[in-house]
Amino acid sequence: MGGVSQSSCHQTPPEGQPVGRRGIKEYRAPEALILIAADRDQKPLVCPSCGAAAVERIPERTLPDDASGGRVTLHCTACSRTAAYIPRTLSRASLPEAPRPHH
């Protein structure tokens, strides 16, 4: 593998150090999915890591069916964790195909 060490990516960072890419504190995957699901369902955003109701959404929601098509960033102002996703727009093309009957 060209001498690349795989052990460094699984080390626990020292306490107090920024984690994630570029020093950004990111949610663990299960936490990010919980927060993204709440945002997509238009539910109040509560940080799954620290429990604070201090999650800001950029861009802010404007309409209940808001689908800007751009990147959405969810940031907890209490613990500084961040999650980002691209909202999907539900259209006929994006829905799964109905099962076809077998003859």
Position with higher pLDDT, 97 vs 85 = 85
Q: What is the mean pLDDT of the chain?
A: 77
Q: How confident is the model at residue 55 (pLDDT cuts 50, 70, 90)?
A: very high
State yes or no: pLDDT of 37 exceeds 90.
Answer: yes
Q: Three-state secondary structure along the chain? A: CCCCCCHHHHCCCCCCCCCCHHHCCECCHHHHHHHHHHHHCCCCCCCCCCCCCCEEEECCCCCCCCCCCCCEEEEECCCCCEEEECCCCCCCCCCCCCCCCCC
- Specify the pTM: 0.63
More confident position, 75 or 89: 75
Which pLDDT score, from 0 to 100, does residue 5 have?
47
CA–CA separation, 57 and 40 (whole Å) = 11
